Amino acid sequence: MLRSIFVAAIIAIGVVSSFRGPFYALLFYLWFAYFRPEGWLHTNWVSGLRLSLIAGILALVMAVVRPDDLKPRLNLGVCLLLVALVQTFASTLNSVAPDWSMVWWLEFAKLIIIGLLITAAVNTPQRLRIAVFVIVLSLGFEAVKQGWVQLLRNPGGSNANEHFVLGDNNGVALGMFMLAPLAGALVATSRGLERRWHQMFLGGLVLRGLSTYSRGGFLTAIAVAIFSTARARHRFRMLLAAAVLTGIFLALMPQRFWDRMETITASEQERDSSTSGRLHFWQLAITMAAEHPLTGVGFNAYSRAYDDYDTSGGLYGRSRAVHSTWFGMLAENGYPGALVFLCLLIVAFLNTRAAIRYARGTADGTVIQALGRGLQGSLIAFVVGGSFVNGMYMELIWHIFCLSTALRQVALEMPPSDAGMSAAQEPAATSEGQWA
């Protein structure tokens, strides 16, 4: 009952707030897309309302009604999103299962449309931070609760619960460690009780990610930790915190956790069925791409084509997934699709890097720089963790592409701070003491 009241209140607030402008309608959509109340409620009365459709329509209608609230830009990031939309449509038309692919491509098209709205509506430092906050809170809400409860009830134990958005343990681990750097950015840009809240939330994300016992998630956690430490403003403080947390982690996790992690480096004779199965799936993906180099076997159609390409005689089952973002893009969308996706990743990282550089000496530079590092950490997490899951169409990574584009545009348009303006107005001195 309490959950229903909570969800009903948010829906009411979201609908009313949506009429304030496209940004608020976008936040309502993001909440629904990442929280998915139908999977959280004990009694699902939400699905029949088609809230995702309503929120999406509200966002688009408000974008038309209030165009003054948007700052649309045609840049490389936006162009790549449009190219991805066209290329995946070509893959859909040439799919081995066109009807199947079309259903999923239409969902992907909605994702791109919302993504384009993100690049136009999220156009101030404050809006960037709010959008990140909504995504982190909505997607991580239930997971954080489970992370802390697990620590109290069964420290070091595994949690095999699936997530309504992220799926199985590997997907949950990837999602948690993509959210963790964003939560870290919220910590860095807050004070007082809000800062404590974000710290608690960050801790819960890490605990939930580790409790999956996902080997890919473990590698992702290491990569994110190394990157975050290297990019931290206060490296010594970060190293000290990392050392303390590592000690706690080593003492907390039981032997069966480490036994599972040791299989990461197992020899060919020691590989378990999960590892050998992935290698088989990836080899089939290469074969599919070789036979369909331009458009692949079709958008989200690897599982539909699997049985026709399987050379194991069904050893690993039927209609299997590829279990890799990179091989998945290659098999389903061909070499052009894989190249476009790789370009999106590179451009997103370059956008965040440029935004961090542009933000130096500006009024809200610390916010932009913290968000830039957070988005970079999420990209690193995806590159590592996405190698072991089907993450090529997950909403979070595409929205990170869009947020990175928006971040760069906001940084470019930010006014300098008062200190920066004063310094700029003073003549610069050379090393010899002469005025340049």
pLDDT at 249 (0 to 100): 73
Question: How large is the C-alpha radius of gyration of the chain?
Answer: 23
C-alpha–C-alpha distance, residues 362 and 368, integer Å: 9
Over residues 352-398, the pLDDT tens digits come to 999 999 998 877 889 999 999 999 999 999 999 999 999 999 999 99
Q: Which pLDDT score, from 0 to 100, does residue 48 have? A: 85
pLDDT score for 267:
57
With CA atoms as reference, report the closest residue to 284 among 236, 256, 240, 322: 322
Cα–Cα distances in angstroms (integers) from residue 226 to residues 211, 214, 223, 394, in the given order: 20, 18, 5, 24
What pLDDT is recorded for position 433?
A: 36
Model confidence pLDDT, tens digit, residues 292-351: 999 999 999 999 999 999 998 889 999 999 999 999 999 999 999 999 999 999 999 999
Question: How far is Cα 139 from Cα 280, in angstroms, rounded to an integer?
Answer: 32
- pLDDT band at residue 268 under the 50/70/90 scheme: low
Please report the pLDDT score of residue 431 as a whole number: 37
pLDDT score for 428: 39
- The percentage of the chain sitting over the pLDDT mark of 90, rounded to a whole number, equals 74
* pLDDT at residue 426 tops 80: no
87 touches 333 (CB < 8 A): yes
Residue 272 confidence (pLDDT): 60
Longest alpha-carbon distance in the chain:
80
pLDDT of 228-256, one tens digit each? 888 777 666 777 776 777 777 777 778 88
The pLDDT value given to residue 116: 97
Residues 380-391 have pLDDT tens digits of 999 999 999 999
Q: What per-residue confidence (pLDDT) applies to 43?
A: 87
Residue 420: pLDDT over 80? no
SS3 314: coil
Contact 376, 181 (CB under 8 A): yes
Q: 202: how many CB neighbours lie within 10 A of its CB?
A: 22
Q: What is the pLDDT of residue 418?
A: 54
Listed residue (304, 302, 298) closest to 283, CA to CA: 302
pLDDT value, residue 274:
72
163 secondary structure, DSSP code: B
- Determine the Cα angle at 358 with ends 354 and 361, to 5°: 150
Average pLDDT on 152-181 reads 92
Neighbours of 116 (CB within 10 A): 18
Looking at residue 269, its pLDDT comes to 52
Mean pLDDT of the chain: 90
Measured at the CA of 340, the angle between CA 337 and CA 346, to 5 degrees, comes to: 145
Helix (H, G, I), strand (E, B) or coil at 416: strand
Residue 31 predicted with pLDDT over 70:
yes
- Ranking 66-75, 150-159, 182-191 by mean pLDDT, the lowest is 150-159
Q: 37-67 as b/e, with b when 16 or more CB fall inside 10 Å?
A: bbeeeeeeebeeeebbebbbebbbebbeebe
